[in-house]
């Protein structure tokens, strides 16, 4: 029998597929990206419905319960994604700042030419 | 020594007209940096037929100060004086900076209670000054005062990364790390707009940055 927690996880995964589709329609994600995200979320649904298929990993990594391993993996994933997103944002901020400043300074170059 | 005034502004249509009239009276060359204003500020500047360095989008005070400083130094100036355009700073204090720049590489303006700084801001400022003093060994009595000056050499050494309100604090920390000769000059302050300036959220952001600088610099 599927537990409430599993139902919530499945609903969440479908909502995420829906969001991915919206962004695909808006043109934010390309064909490869929507395919990848769909594979990821459907794989997540499959694991949620049949958790026993990853029980072997829990034993390998010495987790007593499968749920504990899922929580630990979730934390690692969230922290890794946050770090990645922070670095990407900082890089973009820097590029944007350089571009805006360069554009502002172009006034001086124009007046020099005149 | 060739000195220019650098004045970044963001949505200052109310005060800009008076500011431009006043800055012209000083006879010092000046650079106005529009940090992506969305109000009528740019039209006020156009009315005076002045060329402005314009950020297409709002980047923050630190970024605007950097643009202004780089523009001035690229035009052959030896030093710049930063001043706020909201009428908070008095041009009568400008000669103090010009005089101090002859002997010091970086000059910090310092407001005090006698000149009408609100108590909460004054206490917050004192706390920040003490914290920086403990962590970096430099005591600047008014850490967040935007009225300050620096030479081109000093700018090369303290070139800041902060794009927002953390710029003043970063400048102080980098100046001590670079071993620059610094001093403070007392300046008068008029508080016209209570909403503007460093908010509590900005202050927490700066605090976080201070920890980062302690580790990185």
Query: What ipTM does the predicted assembly reach?
Result: 0.76
Mutate to test the interface with B, among A91, A96, A101 (most CBs of B within 10 A): A101
Distance from CA of A22 to the nearest CA of B (A): 28
pLDDT at B120: 77
Angle between helices A66-113 and B61-74 (to 10 degrees): 30
Q: Per-residue confidence of chain B (217 residues) as pLDDT tens digits? A: 999 999 999 999 999 999 999 999 999 999 999 999 999 999 999 999 888 999 999 999 999 999 999 999 999 999 999 999 988 899 999 999 999 999 999 999 988 766 666 777 778 888 889 999 999 999 998 888 899 999 999 999 999 999 888 999 999 999 999 999 999 999 987 766 555 666 777 788 888 888 888 888 7
Enumerate residues 6+ apart whose C-beta is below 8 A from B187: B89, B90, B93, B96, B109, B110, B111, B115, B145, B147
Q: What band does A72 get if pLDDT is binned at 50, 70 and 90?
A: very high
Residue B155: the pLDDT is 96
**What's the confidence (pLDDT) of residue B113?**
60
Query: Which chain A residue has the Cα nearest residue B33?
Result: A104
Give the residue ranges of DSSP H helices in chain B.
13-25, 41-47, 61-74, 94-100, 119-136, 152-158, 167-177, 200-216
Q: Do strands B3-9 and B79-82 pair parallel, antiparallel, or not at all (unpaired)?
A: parallel
> What are A3-51's pLDDT values in tens digits?
888 999 999 999 999 999 999 999 999 999 999 999 999 999 999 999 8
Q: Do A101 and B70 touch (CB under 8 A)?
A: yes
Q: Looking at the partner chain, which of A97, A100, A105 has a beta carbon nearest the beta carbon of B71?
A: A105
Nearest-Cα residue of chain A relative to residue B54: A104
Largest pairwise CA distance in chain A? 79
Closest C-alpha to B183, from B107, B110, B115? B107
Given an 8 Å threshold on Cβ–Cβ distance, is A104 in contact with B63? no
Can you give the CATH number for the domain in which B58 is found?
A: 3.90.550.10
B54, B59, B71: residue with CB nearest A97: B59
- Residues of chain B contacting A105 with CB distance shorter than 8 Å: 53, 67, 70-71, 74
Report pLDDT for B144: 86
pLDDT band of residue A112 (cuts 50, 70, 90) is: low
pLDDT of residue B189: 78
Domain extents in chain A: 1-49, 52-114
Quote the pLDDT of residue B170: 94
Phi-psi region of B77 (alpha: psi -120 to 50; beta: other; left: phi over 0): beta
pTM above threshold 0.90: no
Spatial distance between the Cα atoms of B37 and B56, rounded to a whole number of angstroms: 9
Residues of A in contact with B59 (CB under 8 A): 96-97, 100-101
pLDDT of residue A2: 67
Question: CB-based contacts of B198: which residues, under 8 Å, 6+ apart?
Answer: B144, B165, B206
Per-residue pLDDT band at A114 (split at 50, 70, 90): low
For B13, counting Cβ atoms within 10 Å of its Cβ (0-12 exposed, 13-18 middle, 19+ buried), the class is middle
Which residues are bridge partners to B31 per DSSP?
A: B6
| B16-37 tens-digit pLDDT | 999 999 999 999 999 999 999 9
Chain A residues near any Cβ of chain B (below 8 Å): 93, 96-97, 100-101, 103-105, 107-108, 111
Host domain of residue B46: 3-216
Smallest Cβ–Cβ distance between A107 and the set B51, B56, B63 belongs to B51
What percentage of chain A exceeds 70 in pLDDT? 95
- Whether residue B53 and residue A93 make contact (CB cut-off 8 A), yes or no, is no
Q: How far is B59 from chain A (nearest CA, A)?
A: 7
**For chain B, what is the domain count?**
1
Nearest CA in chain B to A112: B75
Please determine, for residue A65, whether its predicted confidence score (pLDDT) is greater than 90: no
Q: Shortest Cα distance from A38 to chain B (angstroms)?
A: 36
Phi, psi values for residue B150, rounded to 5°: -155, 155
Residue A3 is predicted with a pLDDT of 84
Locate the chain B residue with the closest alpha carbon to A102: B67
**Under an 8 A CB cutoff, do B59 and A107 touch?**
no
| Cβ-based neighbours of B63, under 8 Å, separated by 6 or more | A97, A100, A101, B35, B55, B163
One DSSP character per residue, A3-66 reads: -HHHHHHHHHHHHHHHHHHHHHHHTSS-HHHHHHHHHHHHHHHHHHHSGGGGHHHHHHTT-SSH
Residues of A in contact with B63 (CB under 8 A): 97, 100-101
């Amino acid at each position: 029998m599927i537990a409430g927690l599993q139902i919530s996880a499945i609903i969440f995964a479908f909502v995420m597929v829906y969001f991915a589709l919206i962004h695909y329609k808006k043109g934010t994600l390309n064909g490869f990206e929507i395919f990848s995200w769909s594979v990821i979320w459907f794989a997540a649904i499959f694991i949620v419905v049949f958790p026993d298929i990853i029980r072997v990993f829990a034993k390998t990594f010495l987790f007593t319960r499968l749920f504990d391993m899922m929580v630990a993996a979730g934390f690692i994933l969230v922290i890794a994604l946050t770090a990645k997103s922070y670095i990407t944002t900082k890089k973009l901020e820097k590029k944007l700042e350089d571009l805006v400043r360069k554009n502002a300074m172009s006034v001086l170059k124009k007046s020099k030419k005149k | 020594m060739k000195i220019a005034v650098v004045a970044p502004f963001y949505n200052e249509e109310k005060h800009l007209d008076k500011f431009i009239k006043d800055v012209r009276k000083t006879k010092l060359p000046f650079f106005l940096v529009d940090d992506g204003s969305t109000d009528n500020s740019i039209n006020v500047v156009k009315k005076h037929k002045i060329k402005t360095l314009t950020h297409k989008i709002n980047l923050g005070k630190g970024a605007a100060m950097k643009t202004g400083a780089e523009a001035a130094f690229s035009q052959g100036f030896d030093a710049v004086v930063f001043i706020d355009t909201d009428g908070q700073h008095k041009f009568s204090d400008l000669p103090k900076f010009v005089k101090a720049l002859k002997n010091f590489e970086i000059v910090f303006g310092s407001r005090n209670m006698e000149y009408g700084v609100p108590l909460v801001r004054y206490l917050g400022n004192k706390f920040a000054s003490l914290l920086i003093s403990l962590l970096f060994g430099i005591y600047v009595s008014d850490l967040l005062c935007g009225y300050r000056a620096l030479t081109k050499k000093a700018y090369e050494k303290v070139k800041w990364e902060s794009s927002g309100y953390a710029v003043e604090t970063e400048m102080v920390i980098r100046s001590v790390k670079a071993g620059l000769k610094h001093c403070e000059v007392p300046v008068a302050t008029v508080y016209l707009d209570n909403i503007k300036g460093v908010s509590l959220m900005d202050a927490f952001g700066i605090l976080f940055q201070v920890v980062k600088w302690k580790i990185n610099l």
